[in-house]
């Protein structure tokens, strides 16, 4: 990905930017809570030694609550344009009903951040990709809007932006003609902050979503996964999603 013409001059520039970065990290420092997720220090890049994931407890998810959806929309600046069939949905609440017993379960549904993501397999331009730390993203610089990934995703996690966009969040660029989905709030995770949905769910007191490093055996999420039964959606597809559910 290196661009030869820029390379020679890059060193001096890097030095220059470092001075600015130092100031920025000072102001960021109060928000950095990476230790809470079992991390050591803020890394300069996505760490292959980690795999970020979510654990969703369907028992704790209240049917009448959609705080996670609202928080995601606010954080990432996506909202409906009045076309329910095509509006973006980075996260949505779904309801499962056991037809035999009539019991209903609700839970949030978003990109499952698969270890073997079908969206990445089918992408003809390489725009759909998985970061070293397991977060699956769309590089909109190379996305051509073909929507193969939307067809490939068994979870209907991705949306296509049909309308022109304004007032995007600077940390979550999104534009007409590209595909988008849950980013696991990658801009927050890189700062050591949990995703917006997790924070919002905890704020309601439900605490139905837990965020953490699946590769760290001492993280809260790993301990719970080791202790209690959990489920990967569509286990038959063997995608090894980073989002796990309990009490479905």
Strands (E), the chain: 52-57, 91-97, 104-110, 128-130, 136-138, 159-160, 179-180, 209-213, 243-246
Taking the complex as a whole, the smallest distance from the CB of residue 195 to another protein amounts, in Å, to: 15
Using CB under 8 A, which of 33, 168, 234, 235 touches another protein? 168
What mask, x for binding another protein by CB under 8 A, covers residues 125 to 144? ----x-xxx---x-xxx---
d(CA 184, CA 141): 19
d(CA 73, CA 77): 5
Q: Does 173 bind another protein (CB under 8 A)?
A: yes
Residue 29: what are its φ and ψ, rounded to 5°? Answer: -50, -40
d(CA 123, CA 244): 25
Q: Does 231 bind another protein (CB under 8 A)?
A: no
* Closer CB to another protein, 101 or 170, in the complex: 170
In 3D, which of 217, 206, 244, 197 has the Cα closest to residue 53?
Answer: 244
Tokens standing for residue 194: 């949990």
* Closer CB to another protein, 38 or 154, in the complex: 38
Centre a 10 Å sphere on the Cβ of residue 8 and count the other Cβ atoms it contains. Answer: 8
* Closer CB to another protein, 9 or 226, in the complex: 9
CB under 8 A: which stretch of 7-15, 107-115, 151-159, 211-219 binds another protein?
7-15
Q: Does 228 bind another protein (CB under 8 A)?
A: no
d(CA 184, CA 129): 14
Q: Does 226 bind another protein (CB under 8 A)?
A: no
Residues of this chain that interact with another protein (CB under 8 A) are: 1-3, 5-7, 9-10, 12-14, 16-18, 20-21, 24, 43-46, 129, 131-133, 137, 139-141, 163-171, 173-178, 186, 190-191
């Amino acid at each position: 990905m290196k661009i030869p013409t820029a390379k020679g001059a890059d060193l001096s520039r890097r030095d220059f930017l470092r001075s600015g970065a130092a100031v920025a990290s000072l102001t960021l420092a109060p928000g950095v809570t990476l230790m809470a997720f079992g991390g050591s220090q803020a890394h300069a890049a996505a760490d292959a030694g980690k795999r970020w994931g979510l654990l969703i407890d369907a028992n704790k998810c209240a049917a009448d609550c959609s705080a996670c959806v609202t928080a995601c929309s606010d954080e990432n600046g996506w909202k409906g344009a009045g076309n329910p069939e095509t509006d973006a949905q980075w996260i949505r609440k779904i309801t499962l009903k056991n037809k035999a017993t009539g019991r209903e379960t609700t839970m949030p549904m978003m990109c499952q951040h698969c270890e073997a993501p079908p969206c990445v397999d089918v992408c003809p331009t390489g725009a759909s990709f998985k970061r070293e730390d397991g977060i699956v993203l769309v590089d909109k610089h190379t996305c051509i809007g073909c929507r193969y990934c939307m067809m490939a995703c068994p979870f209907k996690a991705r949306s296509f932006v049909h309308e022109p966009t304004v007032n995007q969040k600077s940390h979550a660029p999104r534009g007409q003609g590209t595909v988008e989905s849950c980013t696991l709030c990658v801009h927050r995770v890189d700062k050591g902050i949990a995703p917006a949905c997790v924070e919002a769910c905890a704020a309601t007191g439900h605490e139905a979503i837990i965020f953490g490093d699946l590769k760290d055996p001492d993280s809260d999420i790993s301990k719970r996964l080791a202790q209690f039964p959990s489920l990967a959606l569509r286990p038959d597809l063997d995608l090894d999603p980073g989002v796990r559910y309990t009490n479905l």
